[in-house]
Every structure is written in structure tokens, then in C-alpha cells.
Chains A and B, each alone.
Chain A
């Protein structure tokens, strides 16, 4: 992506929550200038941290749309129809509207926006806040490859950015959106195991989080299959294989697969509900 073009690009955020903030941070560590970014929110509560980054703030959604090329709609799902109705008249076919609202389908978005609007649905996850997000986007009917490429280049510092068909977004929600919480659960349990064995809690938690981080980093950087890495840690008759056996006996794999399944199913269900709701 042309860095010069990036620096001319105007980015807007409707909604000033965690997702918007994480994405904004990522965008700014690229070539976009803070002066070209604007964010709107009904109250000033969340706007402070944006201002600290040099980003302009407003209470007017319309102002954000009119002043931007790419608009991130980062409000709670039930507010999306409201917001889109409000801004619709000001959306032109040069805008790229990126929705990060869970469960709001491209069909719904395109219905609420003017015909031929370029809409992209994006599912980020919480670690965007520390620029280690996993983001999956799906292009709407009028979003071209170049629009996807532009979004990708804007977001690449937020973490891992991938494109896929809309059907994968619910799976991504289950895997990586909710998946973050699954990892927190696991980290907590690791720490508790250590506490049970006699380690002070604060130290156990600190080590548990570093273990998760380190393992994740090694997994990503080695390019090896996790099964391969697991085998490499297991010395014959050693501590790790004993621990792993206990995990297998506890059915951790099946439970994890089922967890992703449940979260995905729920995402699909919510998607159906919100689509039904917005047709009223």
C-alpha cells in the first residue's frame, strides 16, 4: 500500500470503546497521521484516550462520516441500525464502511446503507488493544479487492489480519473472539495448580501469563505444528508427559473443541436474531 496515500487517508470512528481504541492505535502506528483521524461518541467519557493520541473528537456521527474516507462503525450491535439510519444520507460510494459489530450481517448493513455502498464486516478481538489482535474481515457485495487491500494495510499493525467469506466470521468469533477468554481461563487454572502446589498466588499468576505469552510467541514464530512443539517439550518419562496425560484424561481437547463450537453456534444464532430484528 502506498504510504503516501495512507498519509492522505481520513479515518473515522463512530463509537469510542475498546475495539475502536485498539484499532486506532494500530492505524496510527502505520502511516496515517493523527490529524486525519476523528472519533465520535455520545459522551466524553471515552474520548480522553483518543485525544491523548492527537485524534480529533466530536459528538457528531455525521461529522465523522463527512470528514472520512474509511469509517469504522464500532458501536454496540443493537445501536448499529440507529447509527446507520442517521448517517445514511451522508454515505457516498467513495466511503468504505467497516462494521465491527458482532452478529450484524453484511446483508443487514447493506440494507441500511445506500445502494452500492462499500461495506466490510470486521471481527477483531480484544488483544488489538496491545497490537496483537486476530482480525478477520469479509467484503460486502460492492467492496472490491482493492478496498480489502486498503483495509488490510490499515490494520496490519493491529495484529494478524485475514480475509474470508462471511461464513467464517462466526467461527472466528468462537475461536478467537471468545478464544481469548478460554485462554484466560486456562491461565487462571495453571496458576491455581501452582498455588495448590505451594507457590504464592501473585507469582503464580505472573508466571502463568508469561508462560502463555511465551508459548504463543514460540508457536507463531517457529511455524511448527503445535503437536510438533508439544512433542519437543516432552522428554521420555518426564514431567510434561505426565501432566499431559492428566489433561488428556480430563478431556481437555474435546472440551475445547466443544467450546469453540458452542461460541460459534451462539454467534450464528445472534446473527440470525439481529437480522430478523433489523427487518422490523
Chain B
């Protein structure tokens, strides 16, 4: 089995690192594409022995499982480009936040009767094989496809299937989650430094404390509230600290954060569905490089409803038939 990555950024790099550490796949069987060969993640992948190319088509041809690891607004360009090259064997796994299975299937159905599409939301700790991944299955994906993806993603952490409508909430919680943790750790380290610890030690201890606590919770049947109680001796240091945290609205802040991330994900998805992202919103260098690929065109100006700007999920109709020939 071969695995391909369209996009060779943080996510692709993290997944490859995790997969190879887990030994589920040899790097020679992995191909990744990127328009920018100068990216640090690209060199990182090259060093690991991954086959790199600037051609998305090459990735498609050399893979069975194809991860779409580009930014959400690039997805439609990619799908248009690789659509004609998709075969029956291909399993397309989109990792793009906010991009729905139906929008991907709609695009690919122009080229293929039954494109096998899955959508996953993972997170960066896959790089150390402690990722949190959920996936949803598309219309034409089979049970074996689910099993395959689950096998791959379980090698780099926790993986489970969900209904697609939960993926935005997952994004808010575990997708963004590592960032919440990094922020917390930075601040905890500051606290340690303020009270006299050297920075490096403070960071190490803070990280270990959170790691240990998370492990305890995962290993335990107990509610986190109970585990918290177990740490708080009466009148002791910890309960004093907790009171300070409660007074600062710690809990509601975290609830708000997860909510904000989830809502923003939905917003982005909505914007994409509206087919209304201006070219200026797409990072200029990336767009240029993408447009330099043979066979990629920007669709015309106005569509039926008179909207201008790049149309992301537009039916190119006759253009496509010409390209195929």
C-alpha cells in the first residue's frame, strides 16, 4: 500500500513522522507534493526518505491512500487538478478543517461515479504518536476503507469514527487543543520562573505535570473532578491555587475557547460553501505556485448568481472535457 500527501506542510510532516515511528509504512512508499521546495517541512520529509515532487498528479498516480493536507481554501484547486487522475483504488482522505465530505464528493463526481472520500480531523501530536483523530466516512467509502484509515491513524494516537456533524466540535476541542495546552504550559512555566525556577526546568516540570495528569485521567475510571479532589489536601496549597483559578473564570474560559474554535470552523465552512473567497484572501505565493501547475485553471468570472471572484466549487463543465482530451 502506498500513501500520498498533497501538501507537505506541518500536518503532512507530523503524520509521516508518526507513521514511520510506528512502523506502519516505509518512507519509500510515501510520496508528497508541494509547490514550494524550500519549506522546512519539505526538507524534513526529504530527509526521512519520502519521495517529493512538485506534481500533485504524480502523487495521485503513486498512491492508494491520498491525504489532502493543504489549507482548506486550496482544496478546490487541488480537486480540480487531480480529479481526472483518480482511479477506483484511491481512498481520498481530506484533513482540511471545515471542508465537508459532500463538497469534495460533489467536485469529484464530475470525474468519477463513486469517489471514495473520507474526512478526518487530527492534530499535531500525531508527530509523537499521541494524536487525537476522528474520521467520518463518505458515501462510497467501504468498511475496509474505514478499517484501513483507522489502522493508520491508530498507529499515531487515538482514533475513532464519528458522525460528520461532530467534526467541527472536535476541531474546537482536540484540533485546537494542543495550542491551549502550549499556552497553559508557557504560563505555568512563567509561574515557576516567577517563584524562582530556572526556565528550562520550569518548562520541563510543567509539561510533565500535564502529561502525567492526562495519563492518569486516561488510565482511570474516575471523573476528573474526583481526581482533582484527590490532589487537594484540606487547607493545602493546591486548593488555594484552585480557588484562584476559579476566581479567574478558568473553566468558563476553556469552554469559551472550544466554542470559539468550533464556531469559527463552521464560519469558514460556511464561507467556503458560499463560494465567495476573493483571490486576495488566498496567500499570493501559494496561489501563484499552484497556478503554475500544468492543467490548473482559474474558473471564469461570474457564475449564475452574478458573484465575482474565484469560485471554489464551480462546475467547469466544458473546460474539463477539453483538458481530458
Contacts and interface: CB of A to CB of B under 8 A. Distances in A.
Instruction: Choose among B243, B252, B259 the residue with the greatest number of A CB atoms under 10 Å from its CB.
Output: B252
Interface in A233-267: 245, 248-249, 251, 253-254, 257-258, 261
Contacts of A251: 246-247, 249, 252
A257 B251 CA distance: 15
A248 B247 contact: no
A206 B98 CA distance: 46
Nearest to B225: A227
A228 B252 CA distance: 18
Nearest to B222: A225
Contacts of B247: 251, 254, 258
A212 B224 CA distance: 24
Interface residues of A, number: 15
A225 B225 contact: yes
B249 A228 contact: no
A127 to B, nearest CB: 24
A126 to B, nearest CB: 25
A249 B249 contact: yes
B319 interface: no
A8 interface: no
Nearest to A232: B223
Contacts of B243: 254, 257-258, 261
B223 A225 contact: yes
User: By DSSP majority rule, is chain A's interface helix, strand, loop, or mixed?
Assistant: helix
Given A254-B246, A257-B246, A248 B223 contact: no
Contacts of B252: 245, 248-249, 251
B226 A248 contact: no
Nearest to A249: B252
Interface in A165-191: none
Interface in B254-271: 255-256, 259
B251 A248 contact: yes
A60 interface: no
A253 B251 contact: yes
A88 interface: no
Contacts of A231: 223
A226 interface: yes
B288 interface: no
Contacts of A254: 243, 246-249
B246 A225 contact: no
Contacts of B142: none
Contact of A228 (B226, B246, B255): B226
A224 B208 CA distance: 30
Nearest to B244: A254
Contacts of A226: 225
Nearest to A224: B223
A251 to B, nearest CB: 6
B76 to A, nearest CB: 30
16 contacts: A225-B222, A225-B223, A225-B225, A225-B226, A227-B223, A227-B226, A228-B225, A248-B249, A249-B255, A251-B247, A254-B243, A254-B246, A254-B247, A254-B248, A258-B243, A258-B247
Interface of A: 225-228, 230-231, 245, 248-249, 251, 253-254, 257-258, 261
Given A249-B255, A251-B246, 10 more contacts: A225-B225, A226-B225, A228-B223, A245-B252, A245-B259, A249-B252, A251-B252, A253-B246, A253-B251, A254-B247
